[in-house]
A and B are shown apart, each in its own frame.
Chain A
Amino acid sequence: MKIKWITGLVTVLALAMLLSGCASGQSEKKSETAGQDGKQLVFGMIIKDPTAPFIQAFINGAESKAKELGVKVDIKDGQADSLKIMELMDNFIVQKVDGFIMAGAVDLKAIVPGVKKLNEAGIPIMALDTSPEGGKVDMFLSFDIEQSSKKAAEAFVQGIKDRNGGEVPKGVVVEITGSLEDMFTQACTKGFRSVVDQYPQLTVVQGEGKWNNDDSNKRTSDLITRYGKEIKGIYVQTPDIMGAGVVTAIEAAGLNPKDYGITGICMGPEGLQLINEGKVLAIVEQPAFESAQLAVQYLYDLKNGKEIPKIGDTVTKDNALWSPAKVIENPWADEGAYMVLQGPLVPLEVKADNPLLWENKLSSLWKQENK
C-alpha cells in the first residue's frame, strides 16, 4: 500500500518535471561571438501572432542579422495581450538582456508601465510596426503609415479615374479597416481620407475588418449587398491580412475584383499573389524584414559604443528599398527617435518580381506553407 502511494506521488512529480523538462532541451546553443565585455549579447524581442507573414519577416530579419553579428535574439509571443507582454518584459529584465525589440502590440498605452521599467533597468528599446505611446523608445523603425496610406490612396483614386474615362464619378467607396482601437488603423484612415476627401462626390463607408480575412470578408459581403452598383472602389488598409477575404467576398457576389481597384499598404505574400493574379491593383510594401535587421544592428551598435542615427539625420543605403530614411522625433513615445523608412508602391514603383522585396526574399517559407 505504501509502495502504491509513493508510486502515485512520484508519477505526479515526474509529470511535473516532464512538463518543464521538455523545455530545457529547447534552449539554443551559444555561439562564441561577443559584445564589449566578452559575453555573448542577448536581445529580447516580443512579437504578436507568429502566423502572420509580416511577423515572420520580423523574426527572420532579426534572426538573420543576429546570426551575422554573432548575437542571440530571444523571441517571445506576447499574444497581443498587454498583461502577457509586461510579464515577458519583467522576465527579460530579470534575465538582464542587453537590448529589447517591441515588435507588435495592440494596446500601445497599456504596455507603457513595462516600457518604463525597461527604461529604469537601462535596457535600450527598439520598436517595430507600432510605437509604445509613452516611456523612452530609443528608435522606432517603420514606414510612415499615414504617408504610405496617402500614396496608396492616390493610386486608388487614379484607378477609379482609369475605370471611368478619366473622371471621378459620384458613388460610394468602401474602406475596410483594422481594429478601430489601434493607432495603426487611425493613421491608415487619416492618410486615406486626406486624399479621398478632395472628391466630395465620393461617400466613404467603413467596414471593420479587424486585421483578419474572416471579418474583412463578412463586412465586404454586407456592404456589397447594401450598396451594390454604387460602389466605385474598395480600399483595404492592409491587404496582406485582409485582402484575400475582400477578394473572395467580391467573387462570391459574382463580381470581378478588377472592377474595384483594390489598394492598401502592407503587401505580404498573399498581397503579392493577388497582385500577380491581377485581383489587386497596387500595394505599398511594408519594409518589415529590413526594419527588424536595422533594429538588431542598432542595438548592437549601442552596446558596442557606436553612434546610431540621431533626430535630424537622413540614413541612406545603396540597393535598399527603404532608403533614404529621415530620422525625426517620435510623436507617440515620451522620448526617442523615429526612423521613417520608405515603402515602395508595388507594382507601379517596383515590379512585383523584384528580389529586394522580402516577400520574394523569404518566398521559400511561404511556398512550404502553401503546399
Chain B
Amino acid sequence: MPKKLQVQLFLLDNLIWVIIAGFFLLNVVITPKFATYDNLVNIFYHSAIMSMLVLAQGLVMIIGLLDLSIESILAFAPGIALLLATKWLPGSIDPITCIFITLAVGALVGLFNGVFIAKIGVNPFLQSLSMLIMLRGVVLFLVPFSIFPLAKVYTYAGQARMVGNIPVAIPIVLIIFIIFHFILQHTTFGRYFVATGGNARASFVSGINTSKMVIWAFVISGILAAVAGLLAAGRQGSISNSMGDGMVMLSFAGAILGGASLDGGKGTPLGMLGGALLLGMISNSLNLLGVNVSLVYATQGALIFLAIIIDRVREKVRNHLLHQEQVKKMLCHEQQETNQLAIG
C-alpha cells in the first residue's frame, strides 16, 4: 500500500482526533477562558462519567449490538451496593468491598442481558430497553431519597484531587481506556471480539465462540456503567435516583463519533475517548459562550445526526480509496503484461 493511501486511511480511522483538534483551535479563538488550565481540567473531569458510558456503548457496538440499559445501571449498581451495605446485610461492610459489590452488580446485570441475547436470542434493543425501564423503576422505588453521607473511600474516585488540582477520576478513566485499547489491539481475545462484530458467521465457522463474546461484551458494558455510577456518586457525594438520566442517547453519539458503527466490527477504545471528549468540549464551550439553554439541547441532537453522517461518509470515502487503489493495481498489472508481451 502506498504511503499516501496509508496516511489517508489513518486520518479516516482517527477522524475524531482531527475534529477535536479543529474544534479546540476554534474555541481557543472564539471562547473566552476556554484554554485555561482550570477549564481544560474541567473538560476532562466532566467528560469522565460520560466517557465510561461511551466506552461501554462502544464495545457493545463493536460486537454489532447495542445496550440501552447502561444509564439505569449507573444508578442501580451503586444504589443496590449501598443498600446492601447499610440496610440489607447484617454487620458493617467496608467501603472497598462496597466498590467491588457495585462493579459486581453492574457485571450481573450485563450477564443477565448477555445470556438472554446470546443464548435465548432475545432482540438486544428490546432486552436492554426493558432493563432500562425496569432498573430505573426499581431504583426509584428503593432509593426514594438520596443516600448520604458516603464513605470517603467510596467517593474517592469521583471526588478526590491530586497534584495540580487534577481530579483522580481523570487518570482512572485514562487507565481504563488504555487497558481496553491494549486488550482489543494486542490480545487474541480482543481479535476474536472484533472479528465477531465484523462477521459473526465467519467467526463462528472459524471456531470462535461467538455467543461467549456477546456475553462478555454485555458484562464489560455493565461493569463500565457501574464505574460511571461510582464516579457520579463520588462527584455528588450521594446516590440519587435520577443519576444518569438521559445519558444513553449521547453515549451513542460519542461512540459513533469515536469510530464505532451500527454495523459492528469497527472502532477503537481510544477513538471512544475522543468521542466522549468532543461531547464534553462542546457542552463546555456552549456554556462558556453563554448560549441559550434550549439551544444546547438542539446542538446535542444535531451532534447525533452529525455522528451518523460522519459514519456514512467515512465508509464511502474508505471504499472509494480502496477501490481506486485496486483499479490502479489492475492498470499497473495490465501495463506490465503488455510490456512483457511487447518485449516477448
Contact in complex: A86, B236 (CB < 8 Å): yes
Q: Which residues of A contact B284 (CB under 8 A)?
A: 91
CB within 8 Å: A-B pair count: 140
B293 touching A20, Cβ below 8 Å: no
Contacts of B33 in A (CB 8 A): 94-96
Asked if A5 contacts B287 (CB within 8 A), the reply is no
Q: What are the residues of chain B within 8 A of A12 when measuring CB–CB? A: 15, 19, 306, 310, 313
Can you list 8 A-B contacts (CB < 8 A)? A16-B306, A20-B286, A24-B289, A50-B293, A77-B293, A87-B46, A95-B33, A109-B238
- B308 CB to closest chain A CB, in angstroms? 12
Given A1-B324, A94-B39, A181-B145: A20 and B313 interface contact (C-beta under 8 Å)? no
**From residue 164 to 215 of chain B, which have CB atoms closer than 8 A to chain A?**
none
Binary interface encoding of chain B residues 45-84 relative to chain A, with 1 for a CB under 8 A from any of its CBs, else 0: 1100100000000000000000000000000000000000
Is B163 part of the binding interface, using a Cβ–Cβ cutoff of 8 Å? no
Whether B30 pairs with A88 at a CB distance below 8 angstroms is no
Asked if A3 CB lies within 8 Å of chain B CBs, one says: no
- Does B340 have its Cβ within 8 Å of any Cβ on chain A? no
The stretch that binds A, out of B94-102, B127-135, B240-248, B259-267, is B240-248
Bin the interface of chain A by size. Answer: 35 or more
Residues of B within 8 A of A4 (CB): 317, 320
Return chain A residues, CB-CB under 8 Å to B30. Answer: 20-21, 24
In the complex the two chains form, what is the Cα distance from A22 to B313 in whole Å?
24
| Residues in chain B near residue A282, CB distance under 8 A | none
A106 to B245, CA, bound (A): 14
A: residues with CB less than 8 A from B are 1, 4-5, 8-9, 11-13, 15-17, 19-24, 26-28, 50, 74-77, 80-83, 86-88, 90-91, 93-96, 106-107, 109-113, 180-181
Who on chain A is nearest to B298 by CB? A22
Closest chain A residue, CB of each to CB of B158 = A113
From A11, A20, A26, A83, contact of B23 by CB (8 A): A20
| Contacting pair A81 B146 (CB below 8 A) | no
Known: A19-B302, A110-B238. 18 other contacts (CB 8 A): A12-B15, A15-B306, A19-B303, A20-B31, A20-B285, A24-B30, A26-B289, A26-B290, A26-B292, A50-B294, A76-B293, A82-B240, A87-B42, A91-B284, A96-B33, A107-B146, A110-B237, A112-B237
Do the beta carbons of B287 and A111 come within 8 Å of each other? Answer: no
Q: Closest CB-CB distance, B142 to chain A, in whole Å? A: 13
> By the criterion CB–CB under 8 Å, are B240 and A107 in contact?
yes
- Give the chain B neighbours of A74 by CB distance below 8 A: 290
In Å, the complex CA distance between A113 and B286 comes to: 23
Q: Chain B, interface size: which category?
A: 35 or more
* Interface residues in chain B, defined as those with a beta carbon under 8 Å from any beta carbon in chain A: 8, 11, 15, 18-19, 22-23, 26-27, 30-33, 36, 38-39, 42, 45-46, 49, 144-146, 148, 159, 232, 235-238, 240-243, 245, 282-296, 299, 302-303, 306, 310, 313, 317, 320-321, 324
- Which are the 5 A-B pairs with shortest beta-carbon distances? A110-B236, A77-B293, A23-B289, A23-B291, A94-B39
Min C-beta distance of B123 to chain A, whole Å: 30
Q: Which of B11, B19, B145 touches A16 (beta carbons < 8 Å)?
A: B19
Q: Which of B38, B290, B313 contacts A94 (CB 8 A)?
A: B38
The answer on a CB contact under 8 Å between B243 and A83 is: yes
Residues of A contacting B46 in the complex (Cβ-Cβ under 8 angstroms): 87, 90
**How far apart sit A309 and B289, CA to CA, in the bound complex (Å)?**
34
User: Which A residues touch B19, using CB under 8 A?
Assistant: 12-13, 16
Give the docked Cα–Cα distance between A50 and B49 (Å). Answer: 26
B26:A17 contact, CB within 8 angstroms: yes
Contact B32 A109 (CB under 8 A): no
Could you tell me the distance between the alpha carbons of A23 and B152 in the complex, rounded to whole angstroms? 40
Contact status A181-B22, CB under 8 Å: no
Closest residue on chain B to residue A27 by CB atoms: B290
CA distance A153 to B294 in the complex (A): 38
B35 to chain A minimum Cβ distance, whole angstroms, is 11
Q: Could you tell me the distance in whole angstroms from the C-beta of B141 to the nearest C-beta in chain A? A: 12
Assuming A27-B290, A107-B238, is B146 touching A181 (CB within 8 A)?
yes
B38 in contact with A93 (CB, 8 Å) = yes
Closest chain-B Cβ to A198's Cβ sits at a distance in Å of 28
User: Does B236 lie within 8 Å of A8, measured CB to CB?
Assistant: no
- Cross-chain contact A94 with B237 (CB below 8 angstroms): no
Chain A residue with minimal CB distance to B4? A2
Cα distance A88–B84 in the bound complex, in angstroms: 33
- Judge whether B310 and A113 touch: CB under 8 Å: no
Contact between B22 and A13 (Cβ–Cβ < 8 Å)?
Answer: yes
B49 with A5: CB separation less than 8 A: no
Contacts of A112 in B (CB 8 A): 237
| A17 near B22: Cβ-Cβ < 8 Å | yes
Residue of A nearest to B12 (CB): A5
